[in-house]
Amino acid sequence: MPAASVRRWWQLLLALAFIAEMLFFTRLRGCAGPYWSPVLFGGAGLLLGGAALGALRGQAFALVPAAVVSRRVSWGGLAWLAGALLVLYRQIPIVLGSPIDLRSSDVIPIVQTYVDRFRSGEVVYRYLTNLPYPLFPNHLPMQWLPYVPVQPLGVDFRWVSWALLLGVGLGAYQLVALRLPGGWLHYGLKALLPALLLSQIIDADYYLYSQVLEPTIIAYYFLLAASILLGPAWVRGGALVLCLLSRYSVVFWVPVFLWMLWREVGPRHALAVAAVVLAGIVGIYIVPFFAHNPTIFTHALAEYRLATLGEWSRSDGTNGLPAHVGNGLSAAPWFYALPLPLEAKIAWIQRAHALLSASAAAGLALFYWRRGPRYDYRYLALVGLKLYLVVFYFFIQIPYSYLISLSVLLSVFVMLVALAPTVPRTAATSTADLT
């Protein structure tokens, strides 16, 4: 069978996996019960990544000429605006109809306290005393620093969070879409893909983002995905800083990415990215916060363990499981069912989480070592990030659906590159004929 035909079959499988992942996260969530639904959902994510690797094998990283980009810019701006308006049409009534409520989520009140303390010159990372329960701050700086400038304006932080996703996140996606090959219909459909997926998620889970600021984190990862494909060293490093200083999720994948950059782009580029990451972590976290109280990291881990214990102790879900544990999105029910004391169950899933996340990153490194010459490193890094996050969130101890939505939404970047017309790596990389 010709290579082009094989690639089309991989692309068809990719599209089916994308639809399956979306459905198992939205309208079919929990359809097979709390134990097997996560297997279907996680399996769809892994299949998506595997199909993308099949479609991208032996393909060059191709970009359209500048003349094509200039012709697309106005349409890209319209697609960006249309997508943002579609999402806001879904989300605005939800935010307006959902006053911030501690009974639903404590995320926004906690972030407001961080911002107030920071602006008044107080110590940010000390016990919170304005909640119904004592809590040591366990949020990294980039989860709350973006809201510092807008606090005096009295703006609801949720609007800021959505502005970051729709402006920075979708903007980064559109910049990549503008540069990749494809006809006008091909380009238009993919330009609207993130907004369409977001609107489907919101329709199926109406209150998913009503009491949280997760769109900010999603914006960071969209910027990271875009920087993998197009970014210079400082953009790649800056995107990594945003992700690392908002959540620890990506920590095992970062060394593999830097190794790829070292081998494929050169030591100078890899060291520049690493230097930006180091400077960002030192300047944003170590010097202003960690250096004054080195226990804040261990305190945060302890608080997360207590939060896990609290969630796993609840009895408000179905099938005898706590509500968030049995939501059909992670392996948590399998560990909850172990014939062990509750703390031992949590300890086992924490071990599995760390071990298998590290193993996913190691598997990516091994795949790159063995099969790297068959792939453009940018494709492999992006798809590897998607596969890594599927594993990471599959074993997360508290599988809040808004957290796991990040991995689902990152699939749009995989679709963007794996469905684009490309040329074999052994052929000429001029892409004028691909537009």
pLDDT tops 60 at residue 188: yes
CA–CA gap between residue 8 and residue 5 (Å, rounded) = 5
The DSSP secondary-structure symbol of 155 reads -
pLDDT for the residue numbered 138? 86
Q: Quick one: average pLDDT of 129-147?
A: 89
CA–CA gap between residue 183 and residue 107 (Å, rounded) = 43
pLDDT for the residue numbered 307? 85
pLDDT for the residue numbered 81? 94
Q: What's the burial of 124, exposed, middle or buried (CB within 10 Å: 0-12/13-18/19+)?
A: buried
Structure tokens at 25: 């996260």
For the stretch 228-247, pLDDT in tens is 999 899 999 999 999 999 99
pLDDT tops 50 at residue 429: no
Predicted confidence band of residue 425 (pLDDT cuts 50, 70, 90)? low
Look up the pTM and report it. 0.95
Phi, psi dihedral angles at 177 (to 5 degrees): -60, -35
pLDDT tops 80 at residue 422: no
Residues 167, 172, 176, 177, Cα dihedral to 10°:
-20
For the stretch 323-352, pLDDT in tens is 889 999 999 999 999 999 999 999 999 999
Q: Quick one: average pLDDT of 195-223?
A: 96
Mean pLDDT (the chain, rounded) = 92
CA–CA gap between residue 307 and residue 431 (Å, rounded) = 52
pLDDT for the residue numbered 355? 98
pLDDT for the residue numbered 177? 93
pLDDT for the residue numbered 319? 75
The DSSP secondary-structure symbol of 259 reads H
Bigger pLDDT: 213 or 315?
A: 213
Q: What angle, 0 to 180 degrees and rounded to 10, lies between the N-to-C axes of helices 193-204 and 66-96?
A: 20
How far is the CA of 38 from the CAs of 46, 244, 366, in angstroms?
Answer: 12, 26, 26
Q: Quick one: average pLDDT of 104-110?
A: 90
pLDDT tops 60 at residue 400: yes
Predicted confidence band of residue 172 (pLDDT cuts 50, 70, 90)? very high
Q: What angle, 0 to 180 degrees and rounded to 10, lies between the N-to-C axes of helices 170-179 and 401-418?
A: 10
Percent of the chain scored above 70 by pLDDT? 97
pLDDT for the residue numbered 1? 66
pLDDT tops 70 at residue 293: yes
What 3-state class would DSSP assign to 135? strand
pLDDT tops 60 at residue 33: yes
pLDDT tops 60 at residue 434: no
pLDDT for the residue numbered 430? 36
pLDDT for the residue numbered 222? 98
Bigger pLDDT: 319 or 129?
A: 129
Q: How far is CA 404 from the centre of its chain?
A: 8
pLDDT tops 50 at residue 353: yes
Bigger pLDDT: 131 or 48?
A: 48
Q: What angle, 0 to 180 degrees and rounded to 10, lies between the N-to-C axes of helices 401-418 and 33-56?
A: 20
> Which range, 137-141, 301-305, 345-349, has the best average confidence (pLDDT)?
345-349
CA–CA gap between residue 274 and residue 367 (Å, rounded) = 23
Residue 294 C-beta-side C-alpha neighbours within 13 Å? 1
pLDDT tops 70 at residue 286: yes
pLDDT for the residue numbered 435? 32
Q: Quick one: average pLDDT of 304-308?
A: 85
Q: Quick one: average pLDDT of 377-383?
A: 97
pLDDT for the residue numbered 427? 45
CA–CA gap between residue 23 and residue 200 (Å, rounded) = 9
For the stretch 52-104, pLDDT in tens is 999 999 999 989 898 888 988 988 899 999 999 999 999 999 999 999 988 78
pLDDT tops 80 at residue 185: no
Residue 94 C-beta-side C-alpha neighbours within 13 Å? 20
Structure tokens at 186: 């091909």
Q: Quick one: average pLDDT of 204-210?
A: 94
Closest Cα to residue 399, out of 320, 302, 334? 334
CA–CA gap between residue 168 and residue 412 (Å, rounded) = 15
pLDDT for the residue numbered 187? 83
What 3-state class would DSSP assign to 294? coil
How close are the terminal C-alpha atoms of the chain, in Å? Answer: 25
